[in-house]
């Protein structure tokens, strides 16, 4: 389908540059062997990678869901999961992709052998983290439990790959998995949301993509709540019908006002605020549904009685299951929304620490900070 010619053979070096995690918050740029793709795997040359808040968490504290294998410190681990790139080498019997294919990646490759994977819930794989030595069940979570993308190359299970069209930039392609996570949240709540009312709480990257995806699916109205006007404006640009600055108006009151007292059908909670679940429960109508894509760090008081009395369902999600990333990529390919709006900064590979700092401290109101492997001039000369 593409008119762009690409080489079908790539010279892959034996070693590569990769950021390696020593102790907590200790990253160094090192030379590591380029990994070899096994069955159902390919080697991806990384072209760009975005920074996610979870990366910062992993680098400081280790991945929350890393059940087996302990903490990742001082094990030569390379973090980073929101990357895209070019297929440069195929594992045995792989013909689903070809060298030269531009791809972006999902995080999770399930083991394929546990009950959850067998029912298609691969992001809830029961062998999460089991990918080492004689416990290698085949689960992979890029940059969580297996090496990630702050490096020149990474091995990926083909289940995690999504094709990127030629007219989508590297930077935009790194955002597919974020949009896919938001879409998964909408899907687990039911998915058929054209004409239905949706609140998205929290204008971080997943929340903002949630607005865009909900709108692309036809939701009406889409209401975004948050604390910062600059972020809410991004939401408006991505399709929010209403934005509510919760510093100026009570979010529940605002939703009641906008919906004529009825409340909404769905809430996608992406803020992690302590009272978010209670607020969401007050926003939905009887029989409404709430998806939790974020969480407060400590236990918080929850009015369980309200959930039960109003027949409310609450879906905790982790990641981007049910191939939602492919559906999100389809919307982005069709240019239904401009994901690039949330891309704010770009750095080269050797400035990963700076990129992380921008993301962590929201310097210059950073939303999505992208690390691009090749300077623009180099790419132009290629």
| Interacting positions 129-188 with its own copies (CB under 8 A) | 134-138, 157-159, 183, 187-188
For residue 352 the two structure tokens come to 């990963």
Give 338-358 as a DSSP string.
Answer: -GGGGEEEEEEGGGHHHHHHH
CB of 146 to its own copies, least distance (A): 15
Q: With CB under 8 A as the contact rule, which of the stretches 12-20, 225-233, 331-339, 349-357 interacts with its own copies? A: 331-339
CB of 381 to its own copies, least distance (A): 33
> What CA dihedral angle connects 179, 180, 184 and 186, to 10 degrees?
30
The 3-state DSSP class for residue 88 equals strand
Distances from the Cα of 170 to the Cα of 67, 174, 176, 366, angstroms: 32, 7, 11, 18
Is the Cβ of residue 128 or residue 150 nearer to its own copies in the bound state? 128
For residue 359 the two structure tokens come to 């993301």
Instruction: Return the residues of window 17-36 that contact its own copies according to CB under 8 A.
Output: none
Residue 290 has φ and ψ, to the nearest 5°, of: -130, 130
Q: Are strands 82-90 and 41-50 parallel, antiparallel or unpaired?
A: antiparallel
- Decide: is 293 part of the binding site for its own copies (CB under 8 A): yes
Nearest to 325 by CA among 215, 163, 208: 163
Which residues pair with residue 369 across a beta bridge? 345
The count of chain residues that interact with its own copies, using the rule CB under 8 A, is 85
CB of 278 to its own copies, least distance (A): 7
The 3-state DSSP class for residue 32 equals strand
Q: With CB under 8 A as the contact rule, which of the stretches 21-29, 42-50, 76-84, 328-336 interacts with its own copies? A: 328-336
Instruction: Return the residues of window 217-236 that contact its own copies according to CB under 8 A.
Output: 217-218, 220
| Separation between Cα atoms, residue 323 and residue 121, nearest integer Å | 10
- Decide: is 243 part of the binding site for its own copies (CB under 8 A): no
Residue choice 192, 230, 363, 379 for contact with its own copies (CB under 8 A) = 192
Instruction: Return the residues of window 336-355 that contact its own copies according to CB under 8 A.
Output: 336
Instruction: Return the residues of window 80-139 that contact its own copies according to CB under 8 A.
Output: 92-93, 95-96, 112-113, 115-126, 128, 134-138
- Decide: is 197 part of the binding site for its own copies (CB under 8 A): no
Distances from the Cα of 26 to the Cα of 18, 151, 253, 352, 363, angstroms: 13, 16, 45, 12, 21
- Decide: is 247 part of the binding site for its own copies (CB under 8 A): no
Instruction: Return the residues of window 300-319 that contact its own copies according to CB under 8 A.
Output: 300-305, 307-318
CB of 74 to its own copies, least distance (A): 24
- Decide: is 333 part of the binding site for its own copies (CB under 8 A): yes
- Decide: is 285 part of the binding site for its own copies (CB under 8 A): yes
CB of 190 to its own copies, least distance (A): 9
CB of 299 to its own copies, least distance (A): 4
For residue 116 the two structure tokens come to 């959850």
Q: Is residue 84 a contact partner of residue 174, using CB atoms and an 8 Å limit?
A: yes
| Separation between Cα atoms, residue 223 and residue 235, nearest integer Å | 9
Q: Could you tell me which residues come within 8 angstroms of residue 161 by beta carbon, excluding any fewer than 6 positions away?
A: 42, 44, 87, 96, 97, 103, 104, 105, 106
Is the Cβ of residue 102 or residue 345 nearer to its own copies in the bound state? 102
- Decide: is 61 part of the binding site for its own copies (CB under 8 A): no
CB of 304 to its own copies, least distance (A): 4
């Amino acid at each position: 389908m593409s008119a762009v010619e690409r080489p079908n053979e790539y010279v892959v070096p034996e070693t590569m540059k990769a950021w390696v995690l020593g102790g907590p918050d200790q990253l160094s740029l090192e030379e590591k062997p380029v990994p070899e793709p096994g069955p159902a795997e390919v080697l991806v040359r990384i072209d760009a990678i975005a920074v996610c808040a979870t990366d910062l968490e992993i680098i400081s504290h280790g991945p929350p869901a890393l059940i087996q294998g302990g903490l990742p410190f001082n094990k030569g681990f390379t973090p980073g999961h929101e990357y895209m790139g070019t297929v440069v080498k195929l594992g045995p019997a792989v013909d689903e992709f070809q060298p030269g294919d531009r791809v972006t990646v999902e995080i999770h490759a399930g083991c394929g052998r546990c009950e959850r994977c067998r029912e298609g819930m691969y992001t809830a794989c029961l062998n999460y983290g089991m990918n080492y030595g004689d416990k290698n069940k085949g689960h992979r979570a890029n940059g969580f439990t297996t090496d990630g993308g702050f490096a020149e190359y990474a091995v990926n299970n083909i289940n995690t790959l999504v094709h990127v069209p030629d007219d989508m930039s590297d930077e935009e392609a790194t955002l597919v998995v974020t949009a896919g996570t938001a879409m998964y949240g909408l899907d687990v709540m039911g998915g058929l949301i054209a004409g239905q009312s949706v609140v998205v709480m929290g204008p971080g990257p997943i929340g903002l993509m949630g607005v865009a995806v909900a709108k692309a699916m036809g939701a009406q109205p889409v209401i975004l709540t948050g604390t910062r006007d600059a972020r809410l404006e991004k939401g408006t640009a991505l399709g929010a019908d209403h934005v509510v600055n919760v510093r100026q108006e009570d979010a529940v009151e605002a939703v009641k006002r906008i919906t004529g007292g009825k409340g909404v059908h769905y809430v996608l909670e992406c803020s992690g605020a302590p009272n978010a679940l209670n607020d969401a429960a007050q926003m939905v109508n009887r029989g409404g549904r709430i998806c939790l894509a974020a969480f407060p760090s400590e236990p918080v008081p929850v009015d369980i009685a309200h959930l039960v009395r109003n027949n409310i369902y609450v879906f905790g999600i982790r990641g981007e299951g049910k191939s939602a990333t492919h559906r999100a990529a389809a919307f982005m390919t069709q240019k239904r929304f401009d994901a690039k709006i949330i891309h704010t900064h770009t750095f080269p590979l050797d400035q990963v620490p700076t990129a992380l700092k921008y993301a962590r401290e929201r310097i210059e109101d950073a939303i999505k900070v992208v690390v691009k492997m090749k300077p623009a001039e180099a790419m132009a000369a290629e």
